[in-house]
Amino acid sequence: MWRATVLTLYPQMFPGPLSESLSGEGLARGLWRLDTHDIRAHGLGRHRAVDDTPAGGGAGMVLRADVLAAAIDAAAPADDPRPRLLMSPRGRPLDQARVRALAAGPGVIIVCGRFEGVDERVIEGRGLEEVSIGDYVLSGGEIAAMVVMDACVRLLPGVMGKEASGEEESFEDGLLEYPHYTRPREWEGRTIPEVLLSGNHAAIARWRREEAERLTRIRRPDLWQRRKP
């Protein structure tokens, strides 16, 4: 079973939104599993301290390497085959190809940073791979970890109703998705493109392809450039 283990200072945030809808039904049906580990359980002293002031000075606090390493070792033994991710704005930006790869594997171990981040030595010492969910700064890694898990879990076998519905989506072929329409046929004077009502499946497929290409060119020239023809 695909298993996610999350190390966090806020375990009560989980499963949070992942308990609803596709991911929540998947959890309830045992299609994946989520364990949380409280980093503070490995904190030092009476106050269970997990952070300290940055070497070299400056604002904020840094998660201690010794505390975080103890938490990682307790949550995941050295021979655990799952990739160890550290949510971090410095990481490689998450994309659908990486999500597919993670979903196809045994699961993930995810470390959620807080404060200014974590001591650099634990990243090297425990082989953490930094993963970003975009070029902006969150206050902690928890919501980012939920993003990773949500994106992976919906691809697990049996989680999505129709197996096919993952295939044609945005990014799967380097394109954004074509527009969708449903009933009513006319709404506030707006109609549905004729071709979609034509029953001509080849023409529909062609229209969708052209729309996907048009939208990608206009909205995401970066994706369009990188596309393999």
**Residues annotated in a binding site for S-adenosyl-L-methionine:** 113, 133-138
By CB under 6 A, what part of segment 77-106 binds ligand SAH? 87-90
| Tokens 């979609």, located at residue | 196
Closer residue to ligand SAH, CB minimum distance, 135 or 186: 135
Residue-wise burial string across 168-204, b where 16 or more C-beta atoms lie within 10 A, e elsewhere = eebbeebbbbbeeeeeeeeeeeeeeeeebeeeeeeeb
CA–CA distance from 2 to each of 78, 108, 218, 220 (Å)? 18, 8, 37, 32
Residue type, 137: V
Closer residue to ligand SAH, CB minimum distance, 171 or 224: 171
Residue type, 38: D
Closer residue to ligand SAH, CB minimum distance, 6 or 103: 6
Closer residue to ligand SAH, CB minimum distance, 63 or 153: 63
By CB under 6 A, what part of segment 98-157 binds ligand SAH? 112-114, 116-117, 132-134, 136-138, 140-141, 144
Q: Give the binding-site size for ligand SAH (rule: CB under 6 A).
A: 18
By CB under 6 A, what part of segment 150-189 binds ligand SAH? none
How many angstroms separate the CA atoms of 208 and 176, rounded?
11
What the block records as the tokens of 170 is: 């945005």
The binding site for ligand SAH (CB under 6 A) comprises 87-90, 112-114, 116-117, 132-134, 136-138, 140-141, 144
